[in-house]
Every structure is written in C-alpha cells, then in structure tokens.
Amino acid sequence: MSDLNEGTRRELAKLKRRLTLARIVASLALFVWCGACLALELGYAPLSIGAQRAAYVNEGALFLIPAVATGFALHAVGNLRNAAQREDILGLKKKVSPVWGVLGLVFAFVVPGVVLFLSGGSAKKMDPPPAPPSNAVLMVDHLTKYFGVRRTFVDSLKRAPPGFVHAVDDVSFSIDRGEIFGLAGESGSGKTTVLRTALMLTPPSRGSIFFEGVDISRMSTGDLKKYRPKIQVVFQDPYESVNPRMPVFDIVSEGLFINHLVSSREEAVDRVLKVLSEVQMTPPEEYLYRYPHELSGGQRQRVAIARALVLDPDLILADEPVSMLDVSIRAEVINVLLAARDRRNISILMVTHDLALSKDMVDDLAIMYLGKIVESGPATEVVATPYHPYTHALTAAVPVPDPQAPKIRVLARGEIPTNIAPPPGCRFHPRCPFAQPVCSEKEPPLEEVAPGRKVACHFWKEAHESFMKGLDGPAGTNVAT
C-alpha cells in the first residue's frame, strides 16, 4: 500500500472514512431497531389501527436503515479492494470478482424494497373492508378497542403472550338523524370506551366509524379537525369538565374562536346569549361572566350542554349527563336535551346505567356486557320485555315505586369478569342460570329475533318465557338466592 500514488491514497482514505461512517450508522440503526422491537414485544405500543400500521412500517424502515448502510459499506469494501488490486505493486492485474458490488446493491436496494413491500402488505391486511353506505348520522361498524397490558421483564423472557383489555369487541350500531340511541350496562362493560372511540378521542383497534357517510376512523388529525364542530360531547362530571378559571362566556365561546365560526367578539356574545337562553339559564346576561364555582351542579351541566350546542352540531355524545346531579334537577337537564333535539333535529348517543331513564328518553337501546352488545331494540320494549338474561337482571334491579308490586330477584350471580381474560363462548354464561355446555363453547351471534329486536343468547326463548311467568330461572329450579 505504501507504493500507491497520491491520488489512489486519497481515494483509499475517502473509502475508509465512508466505510467507518457506514459501520457507525449501521450499528446505531441496529441498536434503535432492537430497542423498538423490544418495546413492541413488551407491549408498550398502543393497539390502534394507525399504531399497528406505524409499528409494521416503522419496523421495516428501521430495518431499511442498517440494510442500506451495510449495502453501501460492502460496496465501499469492494471499491477498496478493486483500487488496491488496480495499483498492485507486483502488477498482477487480477480480475476483481463482482461479488462485493452485487452484495452491496442487494443490501442497499433489494432487501429494503422487500421489507417495505411486506410491511405495507401487513398493514393493508389490518384494514377491514369498508361498510356499505348508509344515511345514518353515525354508523359504528365492527368497532373493536383493545388496550395493551404491559408485561414484566420476566414474562418477556418467558415469551408469555401479551395481554389485552378487551374494552370493546365487535360492536355495530347506527344512529339516524334526530334519534336518541342509548348504551346501557354495568360499569366496565365498555360504554364510555365506545363513546370516546366514536369521538376519536381514542383510536379504534379495528372497525370503522362513519359520520354522515364519511369514515373518520382513518382520517389524519388535520382532516378530522373540520368534523370536530359537528360532533360534540357532554361529559359526566360537570365539576371536572369545565375550566374553573374561565368565566361562562369563555367556556362556551372557546370553540367558536378555535374553529373560526365568528368574526368578532360581538357576534360571539350574541350566540352565547342565545344558547344560554336555550338551556334555560335566564336571564343569560347574569351568567355570562360568572365563574363555575358560582354555579350549582345543574347550572354547570347546562353550561356544558351550551358549549356543545353553540357549535350547531349534528351529533352529541352524552356520557351519563345526569348521574352526578341531584334527583330534583335531573328531569330539568333531560328536558333541555330533549328540547334541543326537537328544535335542532340533532342525534344523541346516550351512555347510561339507568334503565328507568332510558325507557323515557331513549328511542333505541343497546345493552352491553363485557365489551359486547347482547341485546338491542326499541327502549320501551327492551325494558318491558327483556329477552336476554342479563337485560332481565338489569331491569330487576330498577326500583319500582309500588310496595305492592311483586319483587323479582336479580338472577345474575357473582361479579362481572375481567376484560383481560373474558370467558369463552357466551361471556355471560358464568353468571347465567340458563347456561348449558354449548354456552361455554360457542359464542352466540347477535341476531334479529323479532322486528327491531336483536339478542345474543342461545336460549333466549326459554329465558323470556320464564321471565314472563315471573320466574328468575328455568322452570322447576331455584337458582337465585
């Protein structure tokens, strides 16, 4: 090497520096790639469609970096060998094998292309087929939401499978314009998760969410922003959902300024005064610059409703809007929502655990248990004549203001199971007095058994007949105690 000319030496030095840099880049990329794979293996990545797609593509991209770096490093080695042999002091002029250059091209271009193709194909396979078009304001199609459970380091070494919280599992429903649709069930059944996912506050793991015929579940944040004013939410706790440091005017008008729906403060004041009158906060001028601590619980919830209505939405998602209020003012808040529905022809998704409220307010009602819908239909029919044993357990728990009315014992035994490991087959079978061996082996589909009535139960007919006879279990048995 010492007898090489000056130009060749400079070329060799340049190739050596390029080779060293390629090795450093490859080592760093491999380190980052291994760390990302370990994080995915430990279950730290969120299980949404976008996150899964990003995990596949990013993992492929992280592999692409060391592949490209290694390819150029091999190509540099080939050039180095070629230059050395061209200037061999013995003048051997050996023919250089093209293997190094071919390997460099393969690692630099072919391998990354295959990786990206495979990762892109895997990401596309996760997208379910689009739902058929519908005139519904909101259509939820096979919605699924899992939350990853972090594994310990020991579990990862044992290669234990990652755990998931099955918060929502294959839920489908639609809400027409001007309709109030209710979701009812015990705490932990997935009602609020459905609401948050429909609002895209939580991205779904699978499934689609169509708002006025547009799939918003696969939109980017920028594209989704223009739909935000049309989908508003009223949260459960009025003491936490409004900013205590802002007066009523700022709370209600904030969305107007953010979405550029008003051109001046005077226009915003007019719209806020009008909507405060609509939610029965009269005279509205007296409440305009009050702070939340100067309002009662019912007035705070009216402010939250006014904040949703001021943007003129097509859909309101109400998460148990009266559960934190006194019984004496619940009816007033409910009447505010009903009046807004009638006046504006808006749709409402109501999450509640109060079946007595659902019967009087909701048009259609779906009963959820452990992340799945087990029964649905017109609210008055579902509450009056339940088909599913779980629905009957919920209706039996509703207090009847008649001391002479027959007492129906609640038939559901035990507590609701964990969402991390839901029971196989029918998820209600460990608590159901009508359960048979098939219930633990085969999951019943949600089928239409009467006009407008759907139920997911293998023995819904037997259960319904027993309920109609005033029994709390199969005839001839004494199940509930």
All residues at 6 or more sequence positions from 124 whose CB lies less than 8 Å from its CB, including other chains: none
How far apart, in whole angstroms, are the C-alpha atoms of residue 412 and residue 390? 7
Query: In a 10 Å sphere around its CB, with 0-12 CB exposed, 13-18 middle and 19+ buried, how is residue 480 labelled?
Result: middle
How far apart, in whole angstroms, are the C-alpha atoms of residue 21 and residue 18? 5
> Quick one: which of 374, 381, 365, 363 has its CA closest to 450?
381
How far apart, in whole angstroms, are the C-alpha atoms of residue 385 and residue 122? 46
pLDDT at 67 over 60: no
Give the number of other Cβ atoms within 10 Å of residue 315's Cβ.
22
Q: Which of 102-106, 274-278, 319-323, 429-433 has the lowest mean pLDDT?
A: 102-106
All residues at 6 or more sequence positions from 127 whose CB lies less than 8 Å from its CB, including other chains: 49, 218
- Matching CATH number, 168-365, of 3.40.50.720, 3.40.50.300, 1.10.10.10, 3.90.1110.10: 3.40.50.300
Determine contact, residues 429/439, Cβ cutoff 8 Å: yes
Structure confidence at residue 90 (pLDDT): 36
Higher pLDDT, 420 or 270: 270
CA distance to 398, 422, 428, 476, per residue, from 413 (Å): 17, 16, 10, 18
pLDDT at 15 over 60: yes
pLDDT at 455 over 90: yes
| Two tokens, residue 90 | 């013995």
Structure confidence at residue 181 (pLDDT): 95
Higher pLDDT, 84 or 270: 270
Q: Is the preceding omega at residue 66 within 30 degrees of 0, hence cis?
A: no
Higher pLDDT, 99 or 169: 169
pLDDT at 93 over 50: no
The CA-based dihedral angle spanning residues 232, 234, 240, 244, taken in that order and rounded to the nearest 10 degrees: 60
pLDDT at 306 over 50: yes
Q: Which of 175-179, 397-401, 450-454 has the lowest mean pLDDT?
A: 397-401
Higher pLDDT, 149 or 123: 149
353-175-124 Cα angle (round to 5)? 105
Full-model pTM: 0.71
| Two tokens, residue 446 | 């949600």
Phi, psi of 19 (to 5 degrees): -65, -40
Structure confidence at residue 297 (pLDDT): 87
pLDDT-based confidence at residue 421 (cuts at 50, 70, 90): confident
pLDDT-based confidence at residue 151 (cuts at 50, 70, 90): confident
Determine contact, residues 85/92, Cβ cutoff 8 Å: yes
How far apart, in whole angstroms, are the C-alpha atoms of residue 305 and residue 276? 9
pLDDT at 12 over 60: yes
How far apart, in whole angstroms, are the C-alpha atoms of residue 453 and residue 391? 13
Q: Which of 42-56, 207-221, 466-480 has the lowest mean pLDDT?
A: 42-56
The SS3 call for residue 170 is strand
Structure confidence at residue 51 (pLDDT): 47
pLDDT-based confidence at residue 165 (cuts at 50, 70, 90): confident
Q: Please report, for the chain, the start and end positions of each structural domain, with discontinuous segments joined by +.
A: 6-125, 168-365, 385-468
Structure confidence at residue 59 (pLDDT): 46
Q: Which of 53-57, 113-117, 242-246, 361-365 has the lowest mean pLDDT?
A: 53-57
| Two tokens, residue 450 | 């009467």
Higher pLDDT, 323 or 105: 323
Please count the residues of the chain.
481
| Two tokens, residue 67 | 């592949």
> Quick one: which of 177, 143, 148 has its CA closest to 161?
148
pLDDT at 56 over 70: no
pLDDT at 16 over 70: no
β-strands 453-455, 447-450: how paired?
A: antiparallel
CA distance to 117, 418, 453, per residue, from 462 (Å): 53, 28, 16
102-107-113 Cα angle (round to 5)? 120
255-256-262 Cα angle (round to 5)? 170
β-strands 206-211, 214-215: how paired?
A: antiparallel
